[in-house]
Copies of this chain bind each other. A is one copy, B any other.
């Protein structure tokens, strides 16, 4: 896929929410890709889900950002039982460390080359 076809999740009109998840993985990767794929499918069904993007430096830190319309959307995603099971497995197997920062977006700005 060329850069021309990739676009960042846009700058929405505030307020909305960002959930920033940063992580360092263990050497255990069994089941990770399948679970990540399944979570991507599931979160798209949450009313108020706005978008998701992720990047990982090879062998290093990963950063994922989920975009949500409001607190209800985030709460609905947190209540999802399959998501909760994936989080437990993440702590048991896949993650050496992680941080989650849930913020209410007050200001946003986008740029796209002509």
**Chain A interface (Cβ < 8 Å from any Cβ of B):** 1, 3-4, 6-11, 17-18, 20, 22-27, 53-65, 67, 91, 95-113
Contacts and interface: CB of A to CB of B under 8 A. Distances in A.
Nearest to A27: B3
**Copies of this chain per assembly:** 2
Contacts of A24: 3, 6-8
A1 B57 CA distance: 12
B4 A96 contact: yes
Contact of A53 (B22, B105, B112): B22
Contact of A18 (B8, B58, B62, B103): B103
A55 B99 CA distance: 15
Contact of A107 (B25, B59, B102, B105): B102
